[in-house]
Structure 1
């Protein structure tokens, strides 16, 4: 380096521990192949010198990076937290590490990030969207590695998909409201075109149109400074202005439902007596110790672990695994 600093090498560790370089390599990569005393000396030298194992040389010789790239639509809140956790722990069982990037629900950002990840020669790529630009899909199809699309079940996955039917889930929670005697049911979402899951949930709501007293759909334009809570509050105000006799609301996510619930209370509407409200995701804020929100539960951890297992064990092209969903009824309906 220009200021005279340099990386600590394996040779430095070997000299510090009084062993050979190959012994250090074995101790770090296959600790069971060296004696306990030698392993202790090497680990002590590593700690003393602050050595970090250089994975690039091993990757070049073995043609394995031991990295899995993940393009997650958002790292904010808890939307994909359990999925990332399950994926991370599942991959660790096979000695693989996760490299994360956020696409912010933007297919163009995803397309720009894919070459960056492929440049690291990952073992696989994981994406939380099935909506890709033509350029991105071309890169993914030619990558020659497993590509897993999570949280959706596209008819034609790039390689494999692990998720659930967002459309069926949207229909299920709408049907729940109908079964509780409410037919004047609205839907609140956003106009973000890249939110394919939200559009599928809306279609599920629309699938129940025959049992509804007309469709009442509000889609709030996304704004850079706004949160899901903001969208939910704004959407509810618009919904009740246009259809004041509305008695129930399907929200595209728990965050929007939380905003709608707070706004309903500010407006003096009793929930669920005057207005029933549902969400989607069953994140932390939706639980009994939070908002006690009726919602759709998605087992993100299980999705992540199943994806990790497909990467470690291999999967046939076209694999689609439906992990299902659960409707959770709480105090808001």
Structure 2
């Protein structure tokens, strides 16, 4: 900063104010400072300023998967929304492991974020305690927890799958299966499985056609392998609902490999409205959970809290997933 001051003939304080867009600095001086900074390769060090202001200007975020298009959409829209306020994201990857989430939450909170966004509403007891005592806005996403820690932006995974079950039953399918993941790790997948079982039983149908595809995140290959096991164990299955579009696409390819017509001989439904589900042949019936909208609403909620527009009470923003009917079901 002293080098820039000497180069432009102003004081170091003026340089500092120019970087912070202080109104006391003229536009001509600001442009001269910025040109000098560019020539010298200078990057403004916000650490000292943050120490004085007691602000870090970042929001901590935990997601279970970094190669999941849905979570990527949520983080992207969250980042875009926070950028309007000058806030950045510090991202933690849990790999669907609640103990890892607990460790990450502790590490992230040590850095004093302005707020923290977590994926899901189920956490270890210690993670809940850390979040409850954090003293910053906490937003749980992609779920509607019965006992929220803070604010919530999410939806009921169980009810979303129930809607697809209802559609399949109304379309005449009776022998319906579910392909899901490891119930001990993917809590949202567990909720989808539970929603499937409850809906099937409500229709008076058999809910035994349950195939585990392996630990999350479930790949297309694991979806194909699970479909193979389903067809061998329950060859008369008429329809299958998969925990995600990726596993559903794998299931679809396995049916094509075996010469089974979809939906002529078996119908398939996914979850997540991934791009691959819209362009594959036949295209996948799925559920759009509005991943980007979750991020956008979470960002607005954080900004409203930080700006003092939500001084009291917890906010619960409910997203309404949409059943998208395509070619893999009639």
Q: Normalised by the size of structure 1, how large is the TM-score?
A: 0.92
Unaligned runs of 5+ in 1: 1-9
Other-structure match for 1:63: 54
What CA distance in whole angstroms lies between the structure 2 residues aligned with 1:33 and 1:133? 50
Distance in 1 (alpha carbons) for counterparts of 2:93 and 2:321: 25
Task: Kindly report which structure 2 residues correspond to 1:158-177, keeping only aligned pairs within 5 A, or say none.
Answer: 158-177=149-168
Q: Which residue of 1 aligns with 2:191?
A: 200
Please list every run of 5 or more consecutive structure 2 residues that lacks an aligned counterpart in the other structure. none
SS in 2 for 1:71: strand
Give the 3-state SS of the residue equivalent to 1:282 in structure 2: coil
Q: 2:326 aligns with which of 305, 313, 330?
A: 330
Aligned to 1:150: 141
After superposition, the CA RMSD in angstroms is 1.7
In structure 2, what is the Cα distance between the partners aligned to 1:286 and 1:32? Answer: 51
Following the alignment from structure 1 to structure 2, what is the Cα–Cα distance between the partners of residues 248 and 28? 61
Deviations 1:101-141 (A, max 9, x none): 21111111111111221121100000112221111111111
Residue in 2 that maps onto 1:132:
123
- The question of 1:102 aligning with 2:93 is answered yes
| Distance (Å, rounded) in 1 between the aligned partners of 2:8 and 2:66 | 41
Task: Tell me if structure 1 keeps the 8 A contact 2:288–2:324.
Answer: yes
Please state whether the residue corresponding to 2:69 is helix, strand or coil. coil
Secondary structure class of the residue paired with 1:207: helix
Deviation track 1:176-211 (CA, whole Å, cap 9, x = no partner) reads 111111111000001241211111111111122232
Indicate yes or no: 2:180 matched with 1:189.
yes
Map 1:1-333; keep pairs closer than 5 Å.
10-30=1-21, 32-208=23-199, 209-211=201-203, 213-215=205-207, 216-222=209-215, 227-288=218-279, 292-314=283-305, 315=310, 316-333=312-329
Count the aligned residue pairs: 322
Displacement of 1:33 after TM fit? 4.0
CA offsets, 1:251-306, max 9 Å, x none? 01111101101111001111111111010000111114676210000111111111
Tell me the SS of whatever aligns to 2:106. Answer: helix
